[in-house]
Amino acid sequence: MKTPVFSYQKKNTLVHNAPASVKLAVQFLLCFFLFLRTGSEKAEITVLAFCTAVIAAAFILARLRFQDLGKLSFVLCIGGLYAVFKIFRLDFSGTEDGQFRLPAGTQEGIPLLFGIIEVHREEVRSAFLYAFRFFMSALAALIFFHTTPPVEIKFTLEALQEQAGKIFPFARRFIRKRNPALLLTLAIHFIPAVFQTWNRIDRAAKARLPRRKRRCIAPTRLYGELTALLSCMIQQAENKRKAIVNRSAREGTQE
């Protein structure tokens, strides 16, 4: 059975055995520095290369398969679409003498199709760098979810919340009332749950339909699957919220 993207895989590796708090901190730092703009091209490339090396090392140490990279194909599609829309600029405003002209201040661009489409050399570099950053951040998230059990994430966030209450006593009332650890736990668990639920719904839909009819009713099937996904995710989120609240209440009673 194909393992859904962003799902936990139990293994005995250095990355799997690392504390969840360390992996969570590294995940946030990597995402921050991947998209950090320093104003210096050399510094940005250096930081990007360092983050890429860290992610590649974690991928190897976690003993993940290169087939797992195929699970991020949708990330490449999203990044590619962003790059296309960022590189090719459409302009229908400049129509002097019935001819399309480049807007003022953009003469460094390369006009195509009578100036309707304009390609900027700098935008090409910026777009592909952003697509690469987006893919590497998704790969870092893939490694994190593949190597960290959901229960450890929950305990780590609760421990951080407890320490925050000790460091900032004035925020204890807000923490007890809002319970940000619960909200973060639900949000983080929501990411792999979406793909796991979608995988089950898609397999169930394919099993019910003959192979020759799948393409004919693809739009209808997609609409039905998305509707089922939304309903399932709302129900799962509510069930998980109730389970976490009940468990926290029992632990508080025992104490």
Per residue in 70-118, pLDDT (tens digit) is 878 778 777 777 777 776 655 445 444 444 444 444 445 555 555 555 6
Residue 2: per-residue pLDDT? 54
Spatial CA neighbour of 126 closest among 96, 92, 157, 89: 89
Amino acid 131: pLDDT: 87
Whether pLDDT at 183 is above 60: yes
Terminal-residue alpha carbon distance, the chain: 42
Amino acid at 209: L
Mean pLDDT rounded to a whole number for the chain? 78
Q: Is 125 helix (H, G, I), strand (E, B) or coil?
A: helix
d(CA 239, CA 234): 9
Least confident range of 44-53, 59-68, 106-115: 106-115
* pLDDT recorded at residue 175: 80
62: its two tokens = 């976690």
- Work out the average pLDDT over 62-75: 83
Percent over 90 (pLDDT), the chain: 20
Supply the pLDDT for residue 79.
78
pLDDT of the residue at 234: 84
Average confidence (pLDDT) over 195-209: 79
What's the rounded mean pLDDT across residues 32-60?
90
- Does the structure show a pLDDT above 50 at 63? yes
Q: Is the dihedral of CA 105, 107, 112, 113 positive or negative?
A: positive
